[in-house]
Structure 1
Amino acid sequence: MDGLDCVVIGYNEGDFDDYRAMCERAGPGTPEYQIMRSEHLVVDGRAMPWLDAFSSLRNRENGGNGRYHVGEVFNLAALYLTSHLRRQGLRAEPVSLFSGERDRLADLLAERPAVVAVTTTFYVNILPVAPIVEFVRERSPSSHIVVGGPLVDNLCLSGLNGTVQDLFHAMGADSYIQESQGRRASPSCATPCARVPARPASTT
């Protein structure tokens, strides 16, 4: 069997407290702050994401310790891109929730996939991306890491300026795709990247 061509990683919940602190530093008039205000509830004096708040209130009522999380529904971006890559003849595997599937992801990375694609469908900042890139680098240094989707598309709306390049550097991937609908870019990216060694960060 041929080696693994691509692993497609879906969602990373990230750390809400870090996200909140970053948005508060940006200031009340910024889009980041306004989005953050709509993404959480305050329960018992503590700000938390909606699903964590629902979990806390439910557990209070029934005495349980369950937790609602986004991984209960498979990440559709990862599933869709994986299906598309397979139709192109590539061997691809999806990982829906980074924080909940680290062991499975580690097993896939042990196969040294040529490309690891990181989707950014729900992200408004880079905080969830960097831990994924670091995890992949540690376990499969030869894999070419590609970040694409709405986050990259939004960052590049004003052009590839110095601030955007700094953000790309902070994320630490090898390539960035400016295309909100990753399916159209995935064949042209995944196929050549699967055949060449990692190169300095670039955007297409």
Structure 2
Amino acid sequence: MTKILTTQNAQITTAAVEVKTLTISGKQVTLSVFRQLREEPLLTEDVTLNGVPWGYVNYHPDKCGNHRRHLHVVWQRGADLLRSTVYAPEVAKFQSVWAKLFIEAAIAEGLTKRSAESFGISKIQIWPHWATHPHLAEFSYGGVSFQAAIREDFADAYDNNYVSPYVKEKAVAITGPHGDAGSIAALKLPVAEYLAVWDALTALPHLFIAV
């Protein structure tokens, strides 16, 4: 039977809430002090940490707006206190040399827009990047979004659905005669590592700073 809420059976309980503040020399960090922390990458290309993360702050000097999901992590390297923006796995656009090798190997093996799922890829987009000349490939694998600069020959093969012998030879130079895109993904693409780091960072304390 559903209980009816009345003044006789209702009660208010107060939960203990722990608020952790970011302090320097015993004083709470203000927005102006937080702005002065240098923004440097916490994650390396192989998804190890460049230092010790303290927690995350729900504030960014440049305003986040509708930016993709992320954390502003405060971290320590030696005697320096720094901040870093770390993106959620599904929107990370994480750059790794293995992402480049994987996607080029997959193209050489016949990757097209229609065959992406057979390579374990859920989303893919390739377009010219005029500032750096190579083409950019963005794709999702295992729940992690990657971004890589790929060579024009491979981008053309993907666009035209035709893999020339020349591109195949270049791919063998990447993977070796017995390698393939699947083995690169399984052994080298840092999917599990990124997911694990994101879980660890989201479990860190939410640090409050003074307005």
TM-score (norm. length: structure 2): 0.22
* Structure 1 or 2: more strand by fraction: 2
Which has the greater radius of gyration? 2
Instruction: Give the alignment's TM-score, normalised by structure 1.
Output: 0.23
